[in-house]
Amino acid sequence: MKVLIPFIRLFSHQWVMMAVGLILTLTTLMAGIGLLSLSGWFLSATAVAGLTLVSAQVFNFFTPAGGVRFLSIARTASRYGERLATHEATFKLLTELRVWAWRKLFPLSAKNLQGLRRADMLNRLVADIDTLDHLYLRLLTPMAASLLMTGLLYLFLAWFDAKLALSLCLFLILVWLLLPLLFYRLGHAPSRNMLETKRQYRVQLLDILQGQAELSLFGANARYRQKLDDAEQALFASQTAMANITALSQAMLIIATGSALIMMLFLAANGVGDAVPPGPMFALMVFATMACVEMMMPIAGAFQHLSGCVLAAMRINEITEQESDIRFSTDTDLKAISGGLQIHDIHFGYLENQHVLQGLSLEIKPGQKVALLGSTGCGKSSLLSLITRDWQAQSGQIYLDGHLLSDYSECALRSAMTVVSQRIYLYAGTLRENLAIALPVPEGQKRTANDARFIDVLQQVGLGDLLKGDKPLDMWIGEGGRQLSGGEQRRIGVARALLRDAPLLLLDEPTEGLDKRTEREILSLLFEFAKDKTLLMISHRLTAMAKMDQIHLMAEGKIMASGNHQSLLKECAAYQALYRRLG
């Protein structure tokens, strides 16, 4: 249960709306019990009054009838208000939880999220957080309301007969204590199983949707669809088990309230207060007991969801309680000016016992243009991940402008670098929105878009065809840029780089997927843009190597040869072979 405490603390931020919801829930219950009690008394009293002409003439029909109407209206209005308030509180709590989870998630490094599937992450941030709304809506509010209402019911009934009131309320408290405990035990496994099967189904479904093209090409649709069907059947089975527990809980509650009714029929038959025989007061007591089913009905089902809430909280806490191994300085005054890099004796591996980089050292002077060449897996992209601080090296140091990377604040480090990676991610939005994310944001101000600048940059990277029409920047490019070709997506990545004025330009296969002519054009544009900047480029190709001040050949996490294009052609057999194969 301790795992839920941080989430319950977050609920305190919405205590006003939660309190309003609880008060309206109590009002609804009081109106419901009062309505049924008064109706029972009124019907009985009317029948008794009609036995003689005198009693019928002196009986006040209008006040009880007015009370019935008032309580009916009050119950309807408070029920509507209760639904409005509790659901408003729930939505605000979910918003609070999601914002809190994202704030915990953002500082985490790639290592913290290593091995966590994207579908599982999505499920935790959406479905698991949604599950936690049961804490307020189905657990805290109904349990608190039923307990408080039991106390108020005692005060109401004790006005007529304290012994009967005590007997009924003690019975209700016993039910309030035992049924939730019983159905927490019974619902423990089904609740967790339903949450887990729902997660597995969503993960499987997202895998199929994301890999639809590959599954179709390799004829694996049927096999994966069968896995999805199996996951769906497991989900249905868990939901059926949970529905059976819910049905049993409702049956037990009905039996309990029926038992309370029989008890009150027996006890009240001997008289209510000073009224012997009890007369209409007998009906009041019986009908009040019957009305208790409304306040007791949610409590049995409430604790069935507790196990699911605990599991959801544990899964969210697995992410949010992590501490990032990458720490940034709080010094906001340190800024990188020239972009020079000094890399000393770096040892790094994604697994502790398997190092990708082994004692790598490298210096890139301010304004220098440097290329890293090597086969896949030699550690080129890993080095870029260390420079951008997506990962942290096991040992060694990296300096930017003579200062350790850890000496910079995150904002200062991001402002010092422009990165064009192998994978260009485009968001589901307009062309303008996808370009605007590259613009710097002055502290305390909003990002401002300059359409004229966007159009100029798009024309520079050869995307003039996208600028047709009245409002070309408002063109919707779809999820992941699916409205664009692969080459167009990569050119937008280059366009983003041209919008940033950072001293260090990092290029990770910036022209992958482009033909040679377009590659030369893009690289020429990037080199013109970076003429006063420090540039580090990773590539499998030799295009533009003649423009590099220094070229380093990497193998097995080390630099095996260094020099410029001409010297390597003369002295390095590996570079010569690469040139003959790719030149």
Nearest CA among 265, 203, 256 for reference residue 234: 203
Q: What's the whole-number mean pLDDT along residues 567-577? A: 86
Average pLDDT along the chain: 85
Instruction: Give the pLDDT of residue 445.
Output: 53
Give the structural domain span for 472.
427-488
Structure tokens at 572: 């390095």
Percent of the chain with pLDDT over 90: 20
392 or 133: which leads in pLDDT: 392
Mean pLDDT of 2-29: 84
Which helix (DSSP H) or strand (DSSP E) does residue 200 occupy?
Answer: helix 162-210
Distance CA 407, CA 208 (A): 44
**Residue 550, domain CATH:** 3.40.50.300
Q: Are residues 264 and 375 in the same domain?
A: no
Q: Are residues 410 and 432 in the same domain?
A: no
Please report the pLDDT score of residue 56 as a whole number: 67
Q: Residue 341's pLDDT is what?
A: 93
Residue 494 lies in a domain: no
Residue 447 in this model has a pLDDT that exceeds 70: no
Query: Are residue 7 and residue 66 in the same domain, yes or no?
Result: yes
Q: Is 226 exposed, middle or buried (0-12, 13-18, 19+ CB in 10 A)?
A: exposed
Q: Considering its fold, how many domains does the chain have in total?
A: 3
- Do the domain assignments include residue 313? yes
CATH number of the domain residue 303 falls in: 1.20.1560.10
Question: What is the reported pLDDT for 346?
Answer: 92
DSSP secondary structure letter of residue 362: E
Evaluate whether residue 217 is within a structural domain.
no
pLDDT in tens, 269-286: 887 877 666 678 888 888
Gyration radius from the chain CA atoms: 35
Q: Which pLDDT tens digit goes with each residue over 177-198?
A: 888 888 888 888 888 888 889 8
Whether residue 73 is predicted with pLDDT greater than 90 in this model: the reply is yes
Quick one: pLDDT band at residue 534, thresholds 50, 70, 90? Answer: very high
**Residue 544, phi then psi, degrees to nearest 5:** 70, 10
| Spatial distance between the Cα atoms of 285 and 161, rounded to a whole number of angstroms | 9
The encoded tokens of residue 173 equal 């408290």
d(CA 292, CA 288): 7
**In angstroms, rounded to a whole number, what is the distance separating the alpha carbons of residues 245 and 190?**
8
* pLDDT at residue number 212: 85
Q: Are 414 and 357 in contact (CB under 8 A)?
A: no
Per-residue model confidence (pLDDT) at position 443: 53
pLDDT, tens digit, 9 for 90 and up, residues 473-507: 888 888 777 788 878 888 888 899 999 889 999 99
The string over 180-195, giving b where at least 16 C-beta atoms fall within 10 Å of a residue's C-beta and e elsewhere, is: beebbebbbebbbbbb
DSSP state for residue 278 in the 8-state scheme:
-
The verdict on residue 226 lying in a domain is: no
Contact 206, 227 (CB under 8 A): no
CA distances in angstroms from 232 to 81, 193, 242, 298, listed in the order given = 37, 13, 15, 28
Tell me what pLDDT residue 143 has.
Answer: 86
Residue 537 binned pLDDT confidence (cut-offs 50, 70, 90): very high
16 lies in some domain = yes
Question: Would you say 35 and 71 are in contact if contact means Cβ atoms under 8 Å apart?
Answer: yes
Give the predicted TM-score (pTM) of the model: 0.74
Q: Which of 488, 516, 537 finishes a domain? A: 488
Nearest Cα residue to 125 out of 144, 149, 100, 98: 98
Residues 400 and 347 in one domain: yes
The phi and psi torsions of 342 (rounded to 5 degrees) equal: -130, 120
**314 and 352 assigned to the same domain:** no
Last residue in a domain, options 441, 465, 488: 488
User: Tell me, what's the pLDDT at 31?
Assistant: 92
Q: Is residue 326 part of a domain?
A: no
Taking residues 58-70, report their average pLDDT.
83
Please check whether residue 443 lies inside any domain of the structure. yes
pLDDT tens digits, 287-323: 889 888 888 888 877 777 777 788 888 888 888 888 8
pLDDT for 505 equals 93
Range with the largest mean pLDDT of 170-174, 273-277, 459-463, 479-483: 170-174
Residues 6+ apart with CB under 8 A from 212: none
Of residues 376 and 503, more confidently modeled = 503
Instruction: Indicate left, alpha or beta for 276 from its phi (over 0: left) and psi (-120 to 50: alpha).
Output: beta
pLDDT in tens, 547-568: 899 999 988 888 988 999 888 8
Name the token pair of 262: 């029989």
pLDDT at residue 275, as a whole number: 63
DSSP letters of 450-511? Answer: -HHHHHHHHHHTT-GGGG-SS-GGG-B--GGGTTS-HHHHHHHHHHHHHT---SEEEEESTT
> Residue 409: is its pLDDT beyond 80?
yes
Tokens of 135: 């804490």
Q: Which of 436, 455, 488 is the last residue of a domain?
A: 488
Q: Are residues 156 and 298 in the same domain?
A: yes
pLDDT of residue 446: 57
Given this model, what pLDDT does residue 525 score? Answer: 87
Exposure letters 143-165 (e unless 16+ CB within 10 A, then b): bebbebbbeebbebbeebbeebb
Residues 252, 396, single domain; the answer is no
- Using the predicted structure, report yes or no on whether residue 45 has a pLDDT greater than 70: yes
The C-alpha atoms of residue 407 and residue 386 are separated, in whole angstroms, by 15
441 and 510, same domain (yes or no):
no
* Shared-domain flag, residues 111 and 35: yes
Q: What pLDDT sits at residue 231?
A: 93
Q: Same domain, yes or no, for 407 and 440? A: no
The arithmetic mean of pLDDT across residues 567-579, rounded, is 85
Q: How many CB atoms lie within 10 A of CB 170?
A: 12
438 within domain boundaries: yes
Do residue 186 and residue 250 come from a single domain?
A: yes
Residues 27 and 128 in one domain: yes
Residue 77 pLDDT grade (very low, low, confident, very high; cuts 50, 70, 90):
very high
Residue 390 DSSP SS3: coil
Q: Convert the pLDDT of each residue in 220-267 to its tens digit.
A: 889 999 999 999 999 999 999 988 988 888 888 889 989 999 998 888
AA identity, residue 495: A
